[in-house]
Amino acid sequence: MPASTVNEIPFRDQMETPLVGRAPRLLLLGSGELGREIAIEAIRLGAEVIAADRYAGAPAMHVAHRHHVLAMTDASALRQLVETERPDAIVPEIEQIATDELVHLEAEGWHVIPRAEAARATMDRERIRRLAAETAGVPTSKYGFADDEEGARREMKRLGLPCLVKAITSSSGHGMTVVRAPAELGAAYREASEHGRIVNPRVMLEEFVPFDAEVTVLTLRHYDPAGQIRTTTLDPIAHLRPGVLYHESWQPAAISPSVAGQLSHVAQAVTDRLGGLGIFGVECFVRGDRVLFSEVSPRPHDTGLVTLGSQWNSEFALHARSILGLPYSGPELTVPAAAHVIAGVSTGGNPTYGGLSSALGMPGVRLFLFGKPESYPDRRLGVAVARGSTITEARQRAEFAAHAVEREVGVGRTLAPGRESPDAPRRPIARWDARRY
Which of these three, 152, 172, 207, is where a domain ends? Answer: 207
CA–CA distance, 187 with 294 (Å, rounded to integer): 23
Band of pLDDT at residue 197, cut at 50, 70 and 90: confident
Asked, for residue 131, whether it belongs to a domain, the answer is no
Asked, for residue 417, whether it belongs to a domain, the answer is yes
Band of pLDDT at residue 149, cut at 50, 70 and 90: very high
Q: What's the domain range around 167?
A: 142-207
349 and 414 housed in the same domain: yes
The CA angle 234-113-176, to the nearest 5 degrees, is 70
> pLDDT (tens digit, 9 = 90+) per residue, 74-133?
999 999 999 999 999 999 998 889 999 999 999 999 999 999 999 999 888 999 999 999
Asked, for residue 1, whether it belongs to a domain, the answer is no
Bridging pattern class, strands 380-387 and 337-343: antiparallel
185 and 260 housed in the same domain: no
Domain total of the chain? 3
Asked, for residue 351, whether it belongs to a domain, the answer is yes
Asked, for residue 228, whether it belongs to a domain, the answer is yes
352 and 405 housed in the same domain: yes
Bridging pattern class, strands 66-69 and 89-92: unpaired
**Cβ atoms of 282 and 369 closer than 8 Å:** no
Asked, for residue 132, whether it belongs to a domain, the answer is no
> pLDDT (tens digit, 9 = 90+) per residue, 264-293?
999 999 999 999 999 999 999 999 999 999
The answer for residues whose C-beta is within 8 angstroms of residue 415's C-beta and 6 or more apart is 350, 421
Asked, for residue 337, whether it belongs to a domain, the answer is yes
Asked, for residue 108, whether it belongs to a domain, the answer is yes
CATH code for the domain in which residue 294 is found:
3.30.470.20
177 and 275 housed in the same domain: no
341 and 397 housed in the same domain: yes
> pLDDT (tens digit, 9 = 90+) per residue, 26-46?
999 999 999 999 999 999 999
155 and 115 housed in the same domain: no
How much is the average pLDDT of 15-21?
A: 95
CATH code for the domain in which residue 181 is found:
3.30.1490.20
Question: What is this structure's pTM?
Answer: 0.90
Reply yes or no on whether the pLDDT at 425 is more than 50.
Answer: no
- For the annotated catalytic residues, the residue numbers are 171, 173, 283, 295, 302-303, 380
350 and 424 housed in the same domain: yes
Around 42, how many Cα atoms within 13 Å sit in the side-chain half-sphere?
Answer: 32
389 and 324 housed in the same domain: yes
Give the 3-state secondary structure percentages of the chain, helix then strand then coil, rounded to 5. 30, 25, 45
CA–CA distance, 145 with 133 (Å, rounded to integer): 14
CATH code for the domain in which residue 65 is found:
3.40.50.20
Reply yes or no on whether the pLDDT at 434 is more than 90.
Answer: no
Percent of the chain surpassing pLDDT 90: 86
Q: Which of the 8 DSSP states describes residue 147?
A: S
